[in-house]
């Protein structure tokens, strides 16, 4: 099948389509054209450097891809289950790609119908979750992929301690063959374990942060293990990169998207961005987007250190499911939301609806149609309901959900995020708010380092809780 570009349709964002008081005036976009051009040029000038290493991933990984495919083939041959131990971008990307590109009930398929071992992504430390995982896997036939750049991620390394202890007891000699590490090339705790234990390993490239890491070994290994065409993903990313080379805001889809969202959030008070895929295969793309958008753009200082509090709040929604749980708010609640629909042009299956219940007209009219028609009609209906209520929405159309279009989609959102960082003059690649939480957590657990002791002392100065506020 010929690779086709995904499409961005912003008709229902624009005031000349939606209404002058409800949408973005095209003149506002034109007024920002110079700033948009500068944003595009700044990102282009810095690509491949600093924390923009992810921009080169579609082009500089041929040897890595070869190794990934070879290791994946070995894992498929030897193991019945593949478990990713990671959190944040190390988990959300692999989950989203597996859901998008493999069978929706992949793990329940018989082995002969699967593209690889059963896949589990353990992205939390709920003790019941770890116990449940160990109930459904056999350590002797399971491979664990430990993903952390620093090797100091408490959640992931606690899982490593549990799993390595289990493997030593259950497998014994050669237990190391059940672990693949994905980490920094030379720094951190996990690379030390790679060298001392002899684990198979992959490198997280410099300049690739967790939420931008799906198209490096962080995400590509699990995808390759489960039979996904990782070369097609990278080819799709390169296609989108090419589409984003123009500095003309009306010709670069990611640049136009960033400009519109900047106007929405900074000039119109539209501070909630709803991601609403109309496909179960794309439901976890919304989760992945939420981390990318929130962690990158929710900042309280500019790059010059000036105080700001910026960032849209991303919300995940699923069409048609959440028409029945969230749409009421979107159509009649505050004018503070923009909805992005993810539309699939051609689904990979067709479910026909039989004729029946002829005595009930409200049911009988469905006969002879298909779920394919129904889900498209429901999306159009939701789009119209928002339009009629004067609420902004836009649609990203995937000709089909495949490895190429998913690669395009991820890269589109990543480029949009980078441009948005330029508009807001913030560091879109750090996460100091997350680091504060980590410091406090380690302090509570009694980490002996001095900085955590100071944090414990600081936390002790909090006001004592009052019984009258606990019911």
Task: Give catalytic residue positions.
Answer: 295, 324, 438
Instruction: Give 122's strand partners.
Output: 85
CA distance 11 to 205: 39
Q: What is the dihedral of CA 32, 36, 38, 43, to 10 degrees?
A: 160
CA distance 163 to 147: 13
CB 81 within 8 A of CB 134: no
> Taking the mean position of all CA atoms in its chain, how far away is CA 267?
27
Nearest in space to 249 (alpha carbons), one of 10, 19, 3? 10
Instruction: Specify the 3-state DSSP secondary structure of 14.
Output: strand
Q: Give the DSSP H/E element, type plus range, for residue 147.
A: strand 142-147
Instruction: Specify the 3-state DSSP secondary structure of 242.
Output: helix
First to last CA, the chain: 61
Instruction: Give 398's strand partners.
Output: 344
Q: What are phi and psi of 309, to 5 degrees?
A: -135, 95
């Amino acid at each position: 099948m010929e690779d086709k570009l995904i499409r961005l349709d912003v008709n229902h964002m624009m005031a000349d389509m939606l209404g002058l008081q409800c949408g973005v005036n095209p003149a506002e976009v034109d007024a920002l054209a110079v700033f948009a051009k500068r944003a595009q040029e700044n990102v282009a000038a810095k690509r491949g450097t600093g924390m923009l290493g992810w921009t080169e991933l579609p082009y500089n990984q041929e040897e890595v891809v070869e190794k990934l495919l070879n290791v994946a083939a070995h894992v498929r041959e030897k193991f019945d289950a593949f478990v990713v131990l990671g959190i944040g971008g190390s988990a959300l990307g692999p989950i989203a790609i597996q859901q998008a590109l493999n069978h929706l009930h992949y793990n329940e398929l018989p082995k002969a119908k699967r593209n690889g071992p059963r896949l589990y992504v353990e992205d939390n430390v709920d003790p019941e979750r770890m116990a449940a995982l160990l109930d459904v896997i056999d350590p002797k036939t399971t491979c664990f992929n430990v993903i952390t750049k620093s090797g100091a991620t408490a959640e992931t390394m606690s899982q490593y301690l549990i799993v390595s202890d289990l493997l030593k007891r259950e497998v014994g000699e050669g237990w190391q063959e059940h672990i693949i590490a994905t980490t920094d090339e030379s720094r951190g705790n996990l690379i030390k374990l790679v060298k001392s234990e002899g684990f198979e390993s992959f490198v997280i490239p410099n300049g690739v942060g967790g939420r931008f890491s799906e198209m490096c070994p962080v995400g590509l290994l699990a995808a390759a293990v489960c039979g996904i065409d990782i070369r097609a993903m990278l080819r799709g990313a390169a296609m989108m990169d090419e589409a984003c080379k123009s500095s003309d805001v009306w010709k670069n889809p990611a640049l136009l998207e960033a400009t519109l969202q900047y106007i929405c959030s900074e000039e119109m008070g539209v501070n909630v961005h709803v991601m609403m895929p109309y496909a179960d295969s794309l439901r976890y793309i919304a989760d992945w987007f939420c981390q990318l958008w929130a962690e990158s753009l929710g900042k309280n200082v500019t790059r010059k250190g000036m105080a700001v509090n910026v960032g849209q709040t991303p919300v995940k929604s699923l069409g048609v499911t959440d028409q029945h749980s969230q749409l009421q708010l979107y159509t009649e609640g505050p004018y503070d939301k923009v909805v992005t629909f993810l539309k699939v042009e051609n689904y990979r299956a067709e479910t026909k609806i039989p004729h029946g219940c002829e005595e009930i007209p409200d049911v009988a009219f469905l006969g002879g149609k298909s779920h394919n028609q129904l889900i498209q009609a429901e999306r159009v209906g939701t789009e119209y309901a928002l339009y009629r209520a004067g609420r902004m929405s836009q649609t990203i159309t995937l000709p089909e959900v495949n490895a190429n279009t998913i690669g395009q989609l991820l890269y589109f959102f990543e480029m949009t995020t980078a441009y948005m960082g330029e508009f807001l003059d913030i560091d879109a690649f750090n996460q100091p708010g997350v680091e504060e939480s980590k410091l406090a957590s380690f302090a509570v657990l009694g980490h002996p380092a001095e900085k955590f002791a100071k944090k414990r002392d600081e936390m002790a100065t909090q006001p004592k809780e009052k019984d009258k506020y606990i019911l």
